[in-house]
Structure 1
Amino acid sequence: MLVDAMRTRLGSALFSRVAGPDGPANRARIHDTPGPRWFALDSPVRAVHGDAAMFIGGIAALLLQSLHPLAMAAVAGHSGYKGDPWGRLQRTSTFLAVTTFGTEEHAQHAVDQVRAVHARIRGTAPDGRAYRADDPHLLTWVYTAEAYCFLAAHQRFGAHPLDEEGRDRYVAEAARVARALGADDAPSDLSTLRRRLDAYRPELRATRDARAAARFLLLTPPLPWAARPAYGVLAANAVGLLPGWARHALLLPYVPVVEETFIRAGGHGLTRTIRWAMRPPA
């Protein structure tokens, strides 16, 4: 049928962008290898990380994470996000998939690989402060920003938003991966996560690198022109998930009526379309 062919074509194109050329092999390894997993089949972390709302939550997390000057200095100096943005996305999405859905052995191996990379990343930020990627305090910030944005996106655009208990369980489950990576004090419930986000605020500001990253993500993404309108809707909804102080720091506008009607409706429509296109065949 024509509709099935369209769904398959769109789903394959999206999966290829997010997962890269090794995506099919990685998917088979992650999902088909027998063995115990870190998270049960009905775990909230699987529900959140497996939903199309992550397309929005991921953009929001990158914007929020950029506000820590030392974390942003490490990204600007070592990640190559402008030179190889799709490669970085594919590595990140594969890590999330392995730790969320893979066997315990594969998940631990993925964590060990990331920790080995982090151990080699050192530098000096533009403000003169030294940084290292395996700093437990910075790793806790990265986790806090991710968990906040991933969960916020799921609650707004996910197929099945979590109840209060599910939200706390999600934060606790995501913290397991953060601790494995070396985070020193990862929040394990939603109220603590929100307090931790506020506690980091005195350390946060929009550096030149942070604003450059925001411009790259929001205005000049490495996409063909035909795909940019759809991406623009996802990006606008990602901005809508950020706390007001974060938007203000990054000089991102706020137009309440437009955001809460047309833009949000577009976000719901696009996430439903992505979910439909990437649904495994029956």
Structure 2
Amino acid sequence: MVQTLRARLLTALSGDPGGSPAWIRELAEGDDAGHFAAGGAAWTVHGSMATLVAGIRALLLQALHPGAMAGVHDWSTYRQDPLGRLSGTVRWVVCVTYGSTAQADRETARVARFHRRVEGAYVDGTGAERSYSAGDPALAEWVHLAFTDAFLTCQQVWGEPIPGGPDAYVEEWSRAGRLMRVAEPPTTEAELRRRLRGYLERGELRGDERVREVVSFLRRPMLPGAAGIGYRLLFEGAVATIPRPYRRLLGLRRSPLPVVTGTRIVLAIAGRALASGEGKRAQDWARERLARLRQADAPST
């Protein structure tokens, strides 16, 4: 049962039941340390089991911007291939976090090629019709803010302390924002939260039928048995960390049950399942690259 759970988790996260597709193994290649220091804030947050909740929370928040939601509604394959969509996003995050600069740039270019054809129109929070493009820096900013807030918040609730504190994570991950054409991503926790509130205060966010469709899908994905029960707890845990004004737009209420504790238990079980195999984690492949580079730089005796 544990190995079955492990295979399902690895398939969802990497697209491979063994957890080592070619792009993961490529983390051991490359000629530099990449964008982020080993053991630093980004490495710690993105290597945490809390990311399983953060991914759900990020998708919920991102859906509240009608421009971002239009792109998902019109172009995303999440309904037909939810695991493929998830593993594609995980691939970019992992490669940017742990890969060499060259690998991170290739992955960013891969995402950008897909985004070039994502365009259309949407009705904004004031009722006016606007055009959108996935390459629009304004939409990229909202996606970046929602992602950063979700991963930071979930780490603070369920993860280990962040090296350097919350500001260190926001500052480090701002580099990823710039890779995705966000002009001035926030570099502190306070600025991150202020920028998020700005979208709410300006009336740029809204809940509508498209948002309800995404919420319904995220609440009950097609997962069998115990995996489905565990996922439902993760969903409720994600909702519990979302401030009330955003929950209202999403049409969600915080569960009266102790879902934060329940989520901690589910994450512990998932963590033990992932640790039960002999495969390497993304960080392990990246450390092989760093060790090779150190050895190459070491003076000969």
* 1:38 maps onto 2:38 in alignment: no
- Give the C-alpha shift of residue 13 in structure 1: 2.6
- Partners of 1:254 and 1:140 lie apart in 2 by 27
- Partners of 2:259 and 2:46 lie apart in 1 by 23
Indicate the percent of aligned positions where both proteins have the same amino acid: 34
Q: Deviations over 1:157-201 (max 9, x none)?
A: 11x1226x4211111111101111111221111111011001111
CA contact (8 A) 1:30 1:97 kept: no
- Partners of 2:223 and 2:7 lie apart in 1 by 16
Aligned mate of 1:78, from 75, 78, 98: 75
Paired residues in the alignment total: 270
- Partners of 2:52 and 2:180 lie apart in 1 by 23
- Partners of 1:24 and 1:98 lie apart in 2 by 13
* Structure 2: stretches of 5+ with no match in the other structure: 280-301
CA contact (8 A) 2:119 2:134 kept: yes
- Give the C-alpha shift of residue 42 in structure 1: 1.7
- Give the C-alpha shift of residue 147 in structure 1: 0.4
1:135-174 to 2 correspondence within 5 Å? 135-158=136-159, 160-162=160-162, 165-174=164-173
Mark the CA change 1:28 to 1:193 in structure 2 (over 3 Å): closer, same or farther.
Answer: closer
More helix by share: 1
Mark the CA change 1:108 to 1:272 in structure 2 (over 3 Å): closer, same or farther.
Answer: same
Alignment TM-score, normalising by the size of structure 1: 0.90
CA contact (8 A) 2:13 2:90 kept: yes
- Give the C-alpha shift of residue 77 in structure 1: 0.4
CA contact (8 A) 1:114 1:181 kept: no
Larger Rg: 2
- Partners of 1:179 and 1:34 lie apart in 2 by 21
1:229 partner amino acid = I
- Partners of 1:180 and 1:241 lie apart in 2 by 28
Alignment TM-score, normalising by the size of structure 2: 0.84
Mark the CA change 1:167 to 1:213 in structure 2 (over 3 Å): closer, same or farther.
Answer: same
- Give the C-alpha shift of residue 9 in structure 1: 4.3
1:38-117 to 2 correspondence within 5 Å? 38-117=35-114
- Partners of 1:255 and 1:229 lie apart in 2 by 15
* Structure 1: stretches of 5+ with no match in the other structure: 1-5
1:168 partner amino acid = D
State the match for 2:134 in structure 1.
Answer: 133
Q: Deviations over 1:241-282 (max 9, x none)?
A: 1111111111112345x2xxx211111111112222223649
State the match for 1:194 in structure 2.
Answer: 193
Q: Deviations over 1:10-48 (max 9, x none)?
A: 323311222113841236424322432111112111111
State the match for 1:120 in structure 2.
Answer: 117
